[in-house]
Structure 1
Amino acid sequence: MGYKKVVAAFYRGVLSARYRVRLEGAGLLAERRATLFLPNHQASVDPQIVCSQLLRYVDVSPLVTEGYFKIPLVAQVLHLMNAVRVPDLEKSRRGVEIVAGLNRVVIDALVAGHNVLLYPAGQLTNGGLERVGNKQGAWQVCHQLPEGTRVVGMRIRGLWGSMWSRAKTGRSPNFAWTYLKGIFYVLANLLFFVPRRDVTITFEDITDDAVRYAAEGRQPFNRFLESFYNAPGEEQPLFLKHFFYVRGRGH
């Protein structure tokens, strides 16, 4: 894991030019046992932030939509992290079959003692509240959770309104184009004067509740996750300006 820590530390430094990240409850990451991490999904950038922060404490394998494996450089980083390629369920007609196969991969990884990062909603949120809907991936894994495995809920706040979110246009941003814009904004702000966004990641051990609600069924389990993610209330979009020398707000 040594090389991952080095890469993650470097990337945290890169991200810190734009994001001020605060972790709450990270002390529970000191416990060494197989863990299923379940975060909400506010923006396309949050997996980058989440993974770079998690790797300070534990090794983790994220499930990543296959489209990202087609992007130069990004694909190399994903292979470095042992990311698991996931078909885009929004575009696939074999959703149930694919989910069943992926769940087997996740469960096998947990049995082997690995940590897995899985987004229950499987897509970016469309508003200030997280909606898991009828998705079944996280529920099926928790319904068959291997003995001794821990489930950690991750509540991410602060990215709704980011140019990486759907807040401005209602559509998922183009990854490569948004990344290039981000680099431009950092350079245009002379590296050190970039308007920064405050992001909070809260970790909470939800193992007992996850197992209990999973036994009750998919809908009770998904509603439980939504109540966890949305506990602080609906988040209003925050549109930050792109340039420190320009008045007003951007996104």
Structure 2
Amino acid sequence: MSQFALFGKRRFAPFFCTQALAAFNDNAFRNALLMLVAFQLGLDDHAASLYTNLAPALFIVPFFLFSATAGQLAEKFEKTRIIRWVKLFEILAMVVAAAGFITHHVALLLVVLFMMGVHSTVFGPIKYAILPQALKPGELVGGNGLVEMGTQLAMLIGMIAGNELMRVAGVGPWLASGATIGVAVVGYLASRAIPPAPATAPDLTLNWNPFSETARVIGITHADRAVWNAVLGISWFWFFGTVLIAQLPIYTRETLGGNGSVYTLVLTLFSVGSGVGALLCEKLSSRRVEIGLVPLGAFGLTVFGVDLYFARHGISATRGLDWLAFLHGAGSWRIVLDLTLIGMFAGLYVVPLFAFVQARAPREKLSRIIAGNNIMNAIFIVAAAGFGLGLYALGLDAAQIFLGAALLNVLVAAYIFTLVPEFIMRFITWVLVNTLYRVRAEGGQNIPEEGPALLVCNHVSFMDPLLLMANLRRPVRFVMYYKIFNVPLLQFVFRTAKAIPIAGQKEDPQVLQQAYDAIDAALADGEVVCIFPEGALTRDGDMAPFRPGVEKILARRPVPVVPMALRGLWGSMWSRRDSTLQRSRLPRRFRARVELVVDAPVSPEHASAASLEARVRELRGDMA
């Protein structure tokens, strides 16, 4: 099923509309306010600059003050009810904004800006914490992609609408007021259709002290190193995006020589690119939470950020070009491509990170972790403003600031990926598997979503663990022959994935015993373990008898057993059909079509080596 089918589901569509309309109104109001202050009130440059620089600060302050409290509320109470109260608050804010627009009362509008910051602060933890409750695991990446796409496009349309409505002579304030109030009302009506999302921690004791609770929320977010570094990755996305968006007006005017229509064009390119990248995540990840896309996204941000600088930098000799004249200029299409691809790789970067946090974080703490993420986002946004202002004060132009951010992205990404090698491990796995094979997987839903399970599979090639790793939704501990475990390059992948090396009794009884102990400990911790009961790669394409090790594991730790079969790997890269010399050349079945079939779990009391072997043979069929 395509991710777009979610638009036909009540558990997703009303929420999608609610959050997209909220993103629209945030940006429509803010841009209408900036248009009014900068161009229509007749303020001097000093006063206009004061208000335009104060506006972002007023919007971001509530994230520091109230995020921790918002996270608690989202855990303790039913989420849909909170969403409806938040939307009513938005209607009130837009009514007050209308009074400010019509009377040109700037101070009142700044109060509304603070109110909208509170609105976004409270809505944020719910926005991402409600998705795992509403969506199935296989829908999580696609749902996040749709939300990110919807947010980007709603922000873009909101910015354009806020500017254009306020520019209409004579009635601009009335039009902007009517539009924002109308959108707020429609958003509230959409929220009425969102199904209930029960509280995940109803017994939570609320701490109303924002400072101590902020410290506690940051501590909860920091507890899992992988989640914490994913949060840092998301916050870096906001840093990079803030630097880019903040410099775009200057870049448009000074470097591209364009007018407001060119500014709208470059915003559109970035937003559409982000939406496309977000939507691609489901296809590229095969509906799994695939953090291997994150390094790919980081790589693209740097490559095309650097190319954007080399495409055009310095001060343009012309000024006031409209978008059509800009597109006809020399080298303009390279800039168009760079901006679009920066947006696309930004989508590939951030969507898997959000899905990873949602999938990995404990459900009863997820809202508070999202609140912690919002606090870190706010810190990075403020840092991005300081970064841009600092480099501008040093005399760098917008294109040079883009270059600085792109190069800094290399250092930040390397830091995060060094701390959590799982990102690079998944990237290597994703690249290898998707380069060498075309995989069709079915039955993945048969693997239990929680708790321990033992997976058993036929063993055809050296790449079997990577193929399974890339196509199973839950993290899996693989038990593998110690000589395969020590294959150069792949050893990094296997160690990072916490694979368990095993040897035969006659080869190394100590390694064998350590393997059994590690398997038992993993199952006791509720993990999924995968073994290849044949004990070795097939040498003739046929399955060998299953060894009794599986029965020893179940006797020590009775857990559900999931039979699986790999089809079509015999004769592909790294099977034993070819000699070592043949494998060193381009294999005969490069990009082989292979299949993975996952059967329903078998209870431990009905699982024996012989019965499991028979079931795997049946699943494999004639496709060796």
TM over 0.5: yes
- Residue 167 in structure 1 maps to residue 167 in structure 2: no
Residue number in structure 1 paired with 2:560: 150
How many angstroms apart in 1 are the aligned matches of 2:491 and 2:521?
23
Residue by residue, what CA displacement relative to the aligned partner does 1:98-126 show, whole Å, maximum 9, x if unpaired?
A: 54543232122101112111111110123
The answer to whether the 8 Å contact 2:480/2:532 transfers is: no
Unaligned runs of 5+ in 2: 1-225, 227-290, 292-419
Q: Which residue of 1 aligns with 2:622?
A: 235
Deviation at 1:30, TM superposition (A): 6.0
Q: What aligned pairs does 1:24-103 form with structure 2 within 5 A after superposition?
A: 24-29=442-447, 31-54=449-472, 57-87=473-503, 89=504, 92=507, 94=509, 99-103=512-516
**What are the Cα deviations for residues 17-76 of structure 1, in whole angstroms up to 9, with x where unaligned?**
22110111012336212121111101112112111222xx11111123222444432222
User: Which residue pairs with 2:592 in the alignment?
Assistant: 197
State the AA in 1 paired with 2:592.
R
Counterpart AA for 2:610: R
Partner of 1:247: none
Percentage of matched positions with identical amino acids: 23
Taking the aligned partners of 2:622 and 2:540, their CA distance within structure 1 comes to 8
Match of 2:520 in 1: 107
Q: Deviations over 1:77-117 (max 9, x none)?
A: 22211122222x286164xx754543232122101112111
The aligned amino acid for 1:222 is A
Instruction: Give the Cα–Cα distance (whole angstroms) in 1 for the partners of residues 432 and 586 of structure 2.
Output: 13
Q: Which residue is equivalent to 2:605?
A: 211
1:159, 1:165 within 8 Å by CA — same for their partners in 2? yes
Higher strand share: 1
Task: Map Cα deviations across residues 205-228 of structure 1 (whole Å, 9 max, x no partner).
Answer: 3322x5224xxxxxxx22212211
Report SS of the residue matched to 1:17. Answer: helix
Q: Is the 8 A contact 2:425 2:492 kept in 1?
A: no
Offset at 1:236? 6.1
**In 1, Cα distance between equivalents of 2:474 and 2:623:** 32
Q: Answer with 1 or 2: which has the greater Rg.
A: 2
More helix by share: 2
State how far apart, in whole Å, the 1-side matches of 2:601 and 2:446 are.
12
Higher relative CO (Cα under 8 Å, sequence separation at least 6) belongs to: 1
Equivalent-residue separation in structure 1 for 2:520 and 2:440 (angstroms) = 30
Q: Which amino acid aligns with 2:498?
A: N
The counterpart of 2:438, out of the listed 1, 17, 20, is 20
Q: Helix, strand or coil for the counterpart of 2:593?
A: strand
Matching residue of 1:190: none
Distance of aligned partners of 1:5 and 1:142 in 2 relative to their CA distance in 1, 3 Å threshold: farther
Q: In structure 1, what is the equivalent of residue 233 of structure 2?
A: none
Aligned residue pairs: how many?
Answer: 206
- TM-score, normalised on structure 1? 0.69
Q: What secondary structure is seen at the aligned counterpart in 2 of 1:33?
A: coil
Is the counterpart of residue 116 in structure 1 residue 532 in structure 2?
no
Partners of 2:453 and 2:543 in 1: CA distance: 22
CA contact (8 A) 1:39 1:120 kept: yes
Pairwise CA RMSD: 3.1
The equivalent of 1:131 in structure 2 is: 544
Moved more, 39-48 or 225-234: 225-234
Task: Give the 3-state SS of the residue equivalent to 1:23 in structure 2.
Answer: strand
Greater mean deviation of Cα atoms: 111-120 or 194-203? 194-203
Aligned mate of 1:225, from 608, 612, 617: 612
Counterpart position of 1:185 = 586
- Aligned structure 1 segments of 4 or more residues deviating by more than 6 angstroms: none
Residue pair 2:457, 2:532 contacting (<8 A) in 1 also: yes
Displacement of 1:201: 0.6
Alignment partners' CA distance in 2, 1:68 and 1:131 = 18
TM-score computed with the length of structure 2 as normaliser: 0.30
In the TM superposition, residue 196 of structure 1 has moved relative to its aligned partner by 2.3
TM-aligned CA deviation for residue 163 of structure 1:
4.1
Counterparts in 2 of 1:225 and 1:129: CA distance versus 1, 3 Å:
farther
Q: Give the Cα–Cα distance (whole angstroms) in 2 for the partners of residues 68 and 43 of structure 1.
A: 10
Aligned to 1:245: none
Distance 1:121 1:66 in 2: 15
Change in CA separation of 1:120 and 1:85 when aligned onto 2, cut-off 3 Å: same
